[in-house]
Structure formats: C-alpha cells, structure tokens
Chain A
Amino acid sequence: MLCEECGKRPAEVLMTAVVGGQSTTKNLCRECLKKYKAGDLQAVLAAVLSAMADKKQAPEITCPSCGETYAEFQKSGMLGCAECYQAFRQELAPLITRVQGRAQHAGRRPPVSEEEQARQSRIEELRGLMEAAVADENFEEAARLRDELRAMTPAKEGKA
C-alpha cells in the first residue's frame, strides 16, 4: 500500500489523528508522518479533507468571485479569496470546527468605520422614535419607522 499522503512512498505507519473530538486514520510513510508529528495543522487539514473527499463526491460549488471550485480547495487546502468562505460556508463550517476545535472567533476585530458608527447611531435613533410612536399610539408613523429600520439592517445581522 502506498502512503495516502504523498502517494509515492510505501505506507509503513497507521496514523490516527484526533481533531475536535473526531478521529481520522491514515496510512503514512515515515517522511509524511514527520509532518504530523511536528504538529503541522495544515497536514491535519489535508488529512481531514482527503478523508472527506474519499467518502463522497465533492459538492459542485464554484466561488462566484474568484472561480475556485470546492474540489480545488479539497486538493490544495487553500482558498482562492475571502469570498470563498461565503461560497463554501456550509462545507467549511464543520471542517473549521474540526481542525480548530472551536467555531467562533474571539479576539481583535477591525475598527468600526465612521460610516458604520453613523449607521448604528441612526438605527438606535429610529428605534427610540418607533417606541415613542407606539407609546403615542401613532401606529402609522411606527410602521413607517419599522420599515425604515428593516431597510437599514442587512441580512448579516439576522443570524445573531
């Protein structure tokens, strides 16, 4: 049997990698085993990807922005652009959780732009006005404000 990693040298070791609570087994040659032993997360990702690729056909998705296909990603472990994360979101989610052990970012975030700050404070203002309109039983005005608010909140925030 040939090494499942490089496909060149004979496999000598059966490796079990436990990532995110799930185990993946792979037949490896000694050279490729070294990479895993060094704790190379990219090598682990490659193992998970190829194990998944064996199980089922790669979903036929193409990133609309850069043209990368999911099959290409499965082969290289590299995404084509930031938009790929959206295009392959469903497929990437379990994979990222498995390799990283966690699913939600913690830590630094980009600074909020002035535009965004203005948008946020306008949303708060509209909410206040809407509540006041409801309290005044001015339902026509409240409905108008509600629609304006909806138009300002993109789908992005819908998940939260």
Chain B
Amino acid sequence: MSDIVVSSRVRLARNYEDIPFRGKISAAQAEECVQRTLDALRDLPQAYSFLPLRGMEENEKKALVEAHLISPDLMEHEENGAVLLRDDEKAAIMMNEEDHLRIQGFAAGENLKTAADSAFFIEDTLQKHLSFAFDPQWGYLTACPTNTGTGLRASVMLHLPMLTLLKQMGKVNQLAAKLGLTLRGIYGEGSEAQGNLYQLSNQVTLGRTEQEIIQAVTATARQMAEMERVFRERAWEKDSVAFEDQLFRSYGLLANARRMPIKEFMAHWSNLRLGAAMGKLPVSLSACDEMLTAAQPAHVRKATGKALTDPETDACRSRIIRSAIAGA
C-alpha cells in the first residue's frame, strides 16, 4: 500500500510460433492455443480458475474488466477468448487477446518487481514445455510490431489529485513523454481522469531489457509521487482548514449518502484517498482501494445478484461504500 502508487502490473505478450496471429487464426487453432496453454500450466503451484469468455454472463465479463484482470479487448473477442486467473488475483493469463498470450502479474502499491516475477514465473513454466515465436533481432514476436522485443508493458496506477487540481498534469505528461513513457487517465473518457487516477507505462518494448523498462517506470513514478507530495504539503501549509474541510465534506458524503452515482463517487473517492494517505481521515488506504473496485457498476450489480435500474444501483453503491467506511 502506498500513498500515491495504488498498484503495479506487468504484462508479457507471447505467441506460439506455429499458430497464426489473431487476424489469421482458425477456431480450431484458437482452441489449440487455449488447450496447450492449460496443459503446460497444469502444475502451477498456486490455485487458478479457468474462465472462458464464451457463455460468460455479460456482467461477469464487465466485472473482470473493472478489476483490471482482463482487457476490454479480450471482452470483445468472446468467441475464443479465455483467462486463467490466479485465485488470489495476483496473476492472470489472457488467451486469444491481440496476442496468443498476455501473461499478467499484479501487485499492490509500487512493486513492479513482484508483478514481473509473477509473470516471468508463468512464462518459465510455459517454456519448459512450449516454445514462443522469437527472432534474434526483434525478440519475442507479436501480432503488432509495436510490442515486439520484450513484449513487456510495465504500468503503475497513480493517484495524483493535487497535480490535477493545480493544473500540473501537462508538465507531468511531458516528463513521461521525454522518457518514452505514457500517462493516461484510467477511468473516464478523453482528457478527464475520473478519481484523478492515471496509468504510467512504457511505450517502447524493443532494445531495452525488462529491468531497464521496470526501472524507468519505477523511477518516473517515484518522481511524480514526490511532485504530488510537495503540492499536497504546500496546499496544507497554505490553508489547512480549507484543505481539511474539502476532505471531510467528501468523507461525510460517502459515509452518509443513500444514493451515490458513479461519477460523484469517483470525485469524492479521490478526496477520501487523499485524506487517508495524509492520515487526516479515519479510513485506511486498503479500504479505499478495495472500495474503488467494489463500487464500480458491474461489481455493484454482481453484489445485488440482479439487474438493477440506475437509482437502485446508486442506492446499492452507497451501502457498499458506507459499510466499507464503517469497517475501516
């Protein structure tokens, strides 16, 4: 758990050398891709669940996307898409996404190394039995040449409320771009980053080692976190009562509202996490981060077990939030 870096993830793109990529793959070959992966991973030490997307309830798929365990792209390819999900949700292997395999490792806080180790362990296990498309010059070959090389994308989720509020995101974006990294909002569309949550990740995958990529993302994330901390402290020193007032207003709303629409939630959640990170509100960071996923639309629907009309969803969301705050 960290005051600014919410979570870390690493994904590896891998393809079998004898099976065509997505544009040219047949249904039988896609099935073969799933089967050989499952066979090779049968002896993994942790417990995993195999979830084919075909026949999966729509809301279930959306919940997996909300939890960032599968990509929206995989959800759209339900004919032969599947995921093998570690039961503790620290790793997941997507099958028949843009590449045959997208091996993912996850970790809370700023911990790309742990996330990478989880992914590499799965890759090593697979490579005991199978071989991936590899070129001495271009590394691991991928459906799109923009992923070739390490096939690795390292990303961290950053909570940057003060940099956003004080209109510093342009500068922060430049910092990322200069280093070949990219920063984008995680929730919401276009320029608006709901919850002030951003994803920082590497763009280039060829010619840098896995360690170099991970170090670059980690070092930049730390730099951004430091900038954010400075702005938090300055704002506090400037007018602590106004600052606290904002935090407690959001806390009061989330702790008491009886209907909470998603957009409103995201705005106040950001203040809640800010207050928790600064030790000003009686909520833990872990409660904040768990609540973030639990309050997303498909999760709320899943919790009630039935399709809800919007006002009911909002009422249910408010209950989830209130109990999370009370429990913390």
Interface residues, chain A, CB within 8 Å of chain B? Answer: 34, 38-42, 44-45, 65-68, 72, 76-82, 85, 92, 95-96, 99-111, 113, 156, 160
Query: Are B208 and A106 in contact (CB-based, < 8 A)?
Result: yes
CB–CB B150/A96 < 8 A: no
Give the complex CA separation of A65 and B19 in angstroms: 10
- Tell me if A85 and B21 are in contact (CB < 8 A): no
Which one of A34, A38, A68, A110 has the greatest number of beta carbons of chain B within 10 Å?
A: A110
Q: Interface digits, B188-217 against A, CB 8 Å rule (1 contact, 0 not)?
A: 001100000000000111111110100000
Q: Give Cα A113–Cα B128 distance, bound, in whole angstroms.
A: 9
Q: How large is the interface on B (under 10, 10 to 19, 20 to 34, 35 or more residues)?
A: 35 or more
Given the contacts A80-B21, A82-B133, A109-B134, A104 and B144 also touching, CB distance less than 8 Å: no
Contact assessment for A102 and B208 in the assembled complex, using a CB-CB cutoff below 8 Å: yes
Write the B135-168 contact mask toward A (1 if CB under 8 angstroms, else 0).
Answer: 1111101011110111010000000000000000
How many residue pairs between the two chains, A and B, have CB atoms under 8 Å in the bound complex?
Answer: 130
A contact residues around B15 at 8 Å (CB)? 82
Q: How far is the CA of A85 from the CA of B17 in the complex (A)?
A: 11
Docked Cα-Cα span, A113 to B134, in Å, equals: 14
Chain A contact surface mostly: loop
* Shortest CB distance B24–A (Å): 4
Contact partner of A39 (CB less than 8 A), chosen from B132, B137, B182, is B182
B contacts, CB < 8 Å to A: 15, 17, 19-24, 98, 120, 123-124, 127-128, 131-139, 141, 143-146, 148-150, 152, 176-177, 180-184, 190-191, 203-210, 212
Given contacts A41-B204, A99-B146, A100-B149, contact A107 B23 (CB under 8 A): no
Closest residue of chain B to A102 (Cβ to Cβ) is B207
A92 to B141, CA, bound (A): 12
Question: Which B residues are CB-close (under 8 A) to A42?
Answer: 144, 146
Known: A38-B182, A101-B204, A102-B208. A78 touches B146 (CB 8 A): no
Among the interface residues A66, A96, A99, A108, which one has the most CB atoms of the partner chain B within 10 A? A108
